[in-house]
Amino acid sequence: MAEVEETLKRIQSHKGVIGTMVVNAEGIPIRTTLDNSTTVQYAGLLHQLTMKARSTVRDIDPQNDLTFLRIRSKKHEIMVAPGTLAFHFLVKSSFCFTR
Amino acid sequence: MEIVYVYVKKRSEFGKQCNFSDRQAELNIDIAPNPALAEQFVERNPVDTGIQCSVSMSEHEANTERFEMETRGVNHVEGGWPKDVNPLELEQTIRFRKKVEKDENYINTIMQLGSIMEHCIKQNNAIDIYEEYFHDEEAVEVTEEAPSAKTINVFRDPQEIKRAATHLSWHPDGNRKLAVAYSCLDFQRAPVGMSNDSYIWDLENPNKPELTLKPSSPLVTLEYNPKDSHVLLGGCYNGQIACWDTRKGSLVADLSTIEFSHRDPVYGTIWLQSKTGTECFSASTDGQVMWWDIRKISEPTEVVIMDITRKEQLENALGAISLEFESTLPTKFMVGTEQGIIISCNRKAKTPAEKIVCTFSGHHGPIYALQRNPFYPKNFLTVGDWTARIWSEDSRESSIMWTKYHMAYLTDAAWSPVRPAVFFTTKMDGTLDIWDFVFKQCDPALSLKVCDEALFCLRAQDNGCLIACGSQLGTTTLLEVSSGLSTLQRNERNIASSMFERETRREKILEARHREMRLKEKGKVEGRDEEQRDEGLPTDLEALVNKAEEEFFDIIFAELKKQEADAIKPKPMPQQPSSEEGQVAQEGEDATGERGGDEEEEDLA
């Protein structure tokens, strides 16, 4: 239990991390550092995207599996670590870049 | 013949409904074919008929079943909560969450995912892969093409006995013509039957010169009058000045009298900026610079003797081999001499002695070219011995920038009229070097072998793109320079001027230091033995000369001995050593003989 706390705290304390979220398989946010509405929004949207990404990877190669998903946008980067039971989302700001 | 069918209907039957009935076919009329009619027609052979050969298609329409569409929106509400948990109740949700967190599986998963996540975060923090570098620098529009130059045209001397092209001049309007002066500069070695003619070439026609100029003595220099493009000024090998009018033909329009002309070939002639456009001046190795007005060319209007001791002695005068005049500085002119000294003169000085303002020395040999930078007239370029040097008027002791010593003698140089930092030089081995000192200072930016024989003269056209160079066998080559070298670069003027200033400053500092050191030395030596020095002076010169001679011969003999020793060493062919010794001994004799002769000359000078 304590390790979990520690891990989450450590992740949150990294440079550039805005918020952390832990979501279970049903899409219920277990742990979050962001406010409720944002959490709910992210959880709902990202959950579906992650499922789709995972199914894509497995469709292409059934032995393969999704290990990590990064969504870089103009303002932030969203990093998703999918597990079997829980998903770990991270909203992180990346350095400003132009494309 | 009428075909008529009579249709009869009773009046009482009008309006009755039609009663159709069937009956057998009746032959109403039978018209037999009349072959005589065929003669009124002509058989058409062949017959042209259009036929379409394509896939036969038919068009159908069909109605499919309608596909039903609906637009729907989704409202995100927290979901996924198990049935017993009411998402709105805070307590219940908290309780649920706590329960999940206690799950062991959950803990393991979090640990695992946490480590993956950290790894990626650290990656992100380590380096920003989408960083834009140099986003405040504009894209460089200039394509980074290597500097290049290509030959466009070659004008060969139509004479059989080839003479060297010693001077080139571009036509002042439009630069479509090139005047080339041909002469043989080897002293008294001009072959018999060599023609005196010089030519004006039209760039479009390299096979035949447009106009031949026939002087009485070969022309060493030739210049177009910048004000009047029909008039040309030529300096002859025998010292006379001649001028032509191209409208009048190829014979000399005017010639200066021999008694008042130069005594040596005229090496430099330049037109002056005057209201009448008829004034010019010339310089020659006899040590005189003469001013002429071509309306009265029989006598010079003014003569200045290049005597740097300012005593107006012709015997001490230095031979002038190049002349420089910039129309933006009308009273000043510069003369490059055979002795390697550049003399800067002022035409408007009161007394003839004051005409010579200052001298710049630094070259070891005659100064074949002298030109001010068209953008920064305070700096000028000279070429002499094996280097090209750039000078600043402020720095009198030495040049501010110079090239390394080349393997071949440099014969001519010119600044590019478009770019302040680019200049061209020609060498005795037939190469043309293009120097760009904002790009590279140690080596030329481009070095081209134009021909196998020596190149004698060079002239750049006003647009900076075309360069004409003349060679020893009279071939004039026209080259086009790549656009990178002939368009003004961004910031180039500032960079060039700052380079000039920096080098001038450096030279000034060095000069100051040298002066200080010399003063110190003088102070020390003077303090010591003044008397001894006074006595020693008259005999000093002779003693020094003798000492120099002795040292010289010692070195020569040592070299010879070394060569003989090398020759005596055992060699594969037994006959060789003796013949080599004999050769070496002879060479040694010749060398000492020659050098002895040189030594004598030096003594006289």
The pair of structure tokens assigned to B446 is 């481009």
Torsion region of B476: left, alpha or beta (phi above 0 gives left; psi -120 to 50 gives alpha):
beta
Domain topology for A1-91: Beta-Lactamase (3.30.450)
How buried is A57 (Cβ within 10 angstroms: 0-12 exposed, 13-18 middle, 19+ buried)?
middle
Shortest distance between the Cα of B63 and any Cα of chain A, in A, equals 37
Q: Provide the shortest C-alpha distance from residue A70 to chain B (in Å).
A: 9
Minimum-distance CB partner of B106 among A26, A77, A85: A85
| Three-class DSSP category at A38 | helix
- A85 interfaces chain B, CB cutoff of 8 Å: yes
Which tens digit of pLDDT belongs to each residue from A32-77? 888 888 888 888 888 888 889 999 999 999 898 888 888 888 788 8
- The closest CB to that of A24, out of B100, B120, B125, belongs to B100
CB contact under 8 A, B122 and A67: no
Q: What is the pLDDT of residue B529?
A: 58
Nearest to A3 among B79, B107, B135 (CB): B107
Selection from B207, B195, B198, B133 nearest residue B169 by Cα: B198
pLDDT number for residue A57? 92
Nearest Cβ partner for A30 among B79, B101, B131: B101
Residue B583's pLDDT is 45
Mean pLDDT of B317-340: 84
* B134 in contact with chain A, both atoms CB, cutoff 8 A: no
Residue by residue, what is the 3-state secondary structure of B78-113? CCCCCCCCCCCCHHHHHHHHHHHHHCHHHHHHHHHH
Q: Which of A5, A12, A21, A24 to substitute to test the interface with B, most B CBs within 10 Å? A: A24
- Rg (C-alpha) for chain A, rounded Å, is 14
What are the C-alpha distances in Å from B22 to residues B8, B9, B15, B26?
17, 17, 21, 12
DSSP letter for B184, please.
Answer: -
Task: Give the whole-angstrom CA distance, residue B305 versus residue B351.
Answer: 12
Reported as a pLDDT band with limits 50, 70 and 90, residue B531 is low
Tell me the chain B residues in contact with residue A42 when contact means C-beta distances shorter than 8 Å.
none
pLDDT, one tens digit per residue, over B197-220 is 888 888 888 888 888 888 888 888
DSSP letter (8 states) at residue B296: B
Q: How far is CA B88 from the centre of its chain?
A: 83
DSSP assignments along B217-234, one per residue: S-EEEEEE-SS-TTEEEE
Q: Does B120 touch chain A (CB under 8 A)?
A: yes
**Residue A99: predicted pLDDT:** 27
For residue B372, the cross-strand partners are: B380
CA distances A81 to A6, A32, A68, B115, B591, Å, are 18, 15, 5, 10, 91
Size of interface A-B (CB pairs under 8 A): 107
pLDDT value of residue A59 = 92
- pLDDT on residue A55: 92
Whole-number Å distance between alpha carbons of B525 and B531: 11
Answer whether A3 sits within 8 Å of B111, measured CB to CB. yes
CATH 2.130.10.10 fits B149-507, yes or no: yes
- Domain range annotation of chain B: 149-507
Given a contact cutoff of 8 angstroms between Cβ atoms, the answer to whether B308 and B341 are in contact is: yes
Full 3-state SS string of B364-393: CCCEEEEEECCCCCCEEEEEECCEEEEEEC
**Mean per-residue pLDDT over chain B, rounded:** 81
pLDDT value of position A93: 59
3-state helix/strand/coil string of B450-513? CCCCCEEEEEECCCCCEEEEEECCCCEEEEEECHHHHCCCCCHHHHHHHHHHHHHHHHHHHHHH
Q: How far is A54 from chain B (nearest CA, A)?
A: 16
Chain-chain contact of A97 with B131 (C-beta, under 8 angstroms): yes
Q: Given this model, what pLDDT does residue A86 score?
A: 59
Residue B323 scores a pLDDT above 60: yes
- Interatomic CA distance for residues B366 and B430, integer angstroms: 19
Distance from CA of B144 to the nearest CA of A (A): 25
Identity (one letter) of the amino acid at B208? K
- Cross-chain Cβ contact B118/A11 below 8 Å: yes
Asked whether residue B587 carries a pLDDT value surpassing 60, the answer given is no
Q: Is A92 near chain B, with CB under 8 Å?
A: yes
For the segment B475-523, what is each residue's pLDDT rounded down to a tens digit? 889 988 888 788 887 788 888 888 888 888 888 888 888 889 989 988 8
CA distance A60 to chain B (A): 23
Report the phi/psi class of residue B502: left, alpha or beta, with left for phi > 0 and alpha for psi in -120 to 50. alpha
Note the Cα B399 to chain centre separation in Å.
Answer: 23
Question: Is residue B278 within 8 Å of residue B333, measured between CB atoms?
Answer: no
Angle (nearest 5°) at CA B359 between B357 and B364: 165
Compute φ and ψ for B174, nearest 5 degrees. 80, -10
- Cα(B376)–Cα(B500) distance, integer angstroms: 9
**Cβ neighbours of residue B264 under 8 Å, at least 6 residues apart?**
B239, B284, B285, B286, B319
Chain B residues within an 8 Å CB radius of A67: 116
Percent of chain B with pLDDT over 90: 1
Q: Cβ of A81 and B121 within 8 Å? A: no
Contact yes or no for A20/A30 (Cβ under 8 A)? no
Q: Which residues contact B426 (CB under 8 A, 6 or more apart)?
A: B410, B411, B412, B413, B432, B433, B450, B455, B456, B457, B458, B469
CA B598 to chain CA mean position, Å: 40
Q: Is B594 helix (H, G, I), strand (E, B) or coil?
A: helix
Q: Of B232, B255, B216, whose CA–CA distance to B167 is shortest?
A: B232
The token pair that represents B310 in the structure block = 């300012």
Nearest CA in chain A to B119: A11
pLDDT single digits (tens) B261-293: 888 888 888 888 888 888 888 888 888 888 888
For residue range B346-395, what is the model confidence (pLDDT) as tens digits? 888 777 777 788 888 888 888 888 888 888 888 888 888 888 888 888 88
- Residue predicted with more confidence, B530 or A33: A33
Phi, psi for residue B347 in degrees, rounded to 5 = -75, -30
Cβ of B109 within 8 Å of Cβ of A7? The answer is no
Set of chain B residues whose Cβ sits within 8 Å of the Cβ of A27? 79-80
What whole-number distance in Å separates Cα of residue B337 and Cα of residue B321?
5
Using CA atoms, how far residue B99 sits from A33, A43, B23, B104, B556, in Å, is: 19, 19, 105, 11, 108
Interface check B122 vs A, CB under 8 A:
yes
Whether A58 and A47 have beta carbons less than 8 Å apart is answered as no
Each residue of B113-133: pLDDT tens digit? Answer: 888 888 888 888 887 776 777
Please determine, for residue A97, whether its predicted confidence score (pLDDT) is greater than 50.
no
| Whole-angstrom distance, CA of residue A11 vs CA of residue B558 | 85
pLDDT of residue B594 exceeding 80: no
Q: Which of A7, A13, A17 to mutate to test the interface with B (most CBs of B within 10 A)?
A: A7
For residue A62, the distance in angstroms to the closest alpha carbon of chain B comes to 22
Q: Kindly identify which residue of chain B lies nearest to residue A27, measuring between CA atoms.
A: B80
Quickly tell me which residue has 């003269």 as its tokens: B457
pLDDT at B142: 56
Alpha-carbon gap, residue B297 to B321, rounded angstroms: 22
Strands B476-481 and B149-155: antiparallel
Please classify residue B549 by burial: count the beta carbons closer than 10 Å to its beta carbon, then call 0-12 exposed, 13-18 middle and 19+ buried: middle
Q: Which of B77, B106, B113 to mutate to test the interface with A (most CBs of A within 10 A)?
A: B113
pLDDT at residue B596 is higher than 60:
no
Q: Do B79 and A85 touch (CB under 8 A)?
A: no
Per the CB < 8 Å rule, is B121 touching A85?
no
